[in-house]
Amino acid sequence: MKNSYPQRMVFWGVLSLVCAIGLGIAAQQWWAQVSREPYAFYGTVLNKPRPLPAFTLEGTEGYAIDNRHLQGHWTFLFMGFTHCASICPVTMAELAKMAHLMAQQPNLSRPAVVMITLDPKRDSLVRMKDYVQSFDPQFLGARGSEEETHNLARFLGIAFTQVNSQVQKQANDYSIEHSGAIMLLNPRGELVAFFTPPHHADKLVNDYQHLVK
């Protein structure tokens, strides 16, 4: 009877150790299973990258934005216009949040963010620059001819149409209805993914991290 207490202590100690080892093995197996599960992309990733058609746009920083300019880095591309009341400011704000989150990760290469206007009649380069840089000083704006704009939008699947105001007083008193998709281009200037609203900055960052690996 004198040795019963030490024996019980040894028994419970061994039992605790066995349980701890068992839990550790179970946790390792769970983590291995989770690690093997494929990442679920928030956006739509193309099976094969699509090269953009040849184009040349005026850029807000004084140089042309064309196919060559899009090479060597990743690019988030959005088509909108500065008089937009809803889709554009919301989308640009999420892109700005995305850029801020990426800036906090020094090992993550920061992509370019370019907004191309769907309204070259009213969006001058000065107006475009003021608009995009109100969201982030490093954002770029671009504008092209109506033909170039339509061709690029058609390739990217951006639907848009001019809507005249019911109380139109001037020729430029109109709005534009358009889709709010964001495009992602790889360092070869090819379309690799797109994201449809509603946009979430953290999800854009997560998808980007997995695509650039």
Is pTM, for the whole model, over 0.85? no
Q: What is the pLDDT of residue 178?
A: 96
DSSP sequence for 101-136: HHHT-TTSPPPEEEEEES-TTT--HHHHHHHHHTT-
- Per residue in 131-165, pLDDT (tens digit) is 999 999 999 999 999 999 999 999 999 999 999 87
97-116 mean pLDDT: 96
When pLDDT is cut at 50, 70 and 90, the band that residue 16 belongs to is low
Buried/exposed 89-118: b ≥16 CB within 10 Å, e otherwise = eebbebbbbbbebbeeeeeeeebbbbbbbb
Q: What is the pLDDT of residue 143?
A: 98
Q: What is the pLDDT of residue 158?
A: 96
Q: Hey, CA dihedral for 47, 48, 54, 55, is it positive or negative?
A: positive
pLDDT at 32 over 60: no
- Beta strand 56-59 with 64-66: parallel, antiparallel or unpaired? antiparallel
pLDDT at 184 over 90: yes
pLDDT at 81 over 80: yes
pLDDT at 20 over 90: no
98-103 mean pLDDT: 98
When pLDDT is cut at 50, 70 and 90, the band that residue 173 belongs to is confident
Residue 206, class by beta-carbon neighbours within 10 Å (0-12 exposed, 13-18 middle, 19+ buried)?
A: middle
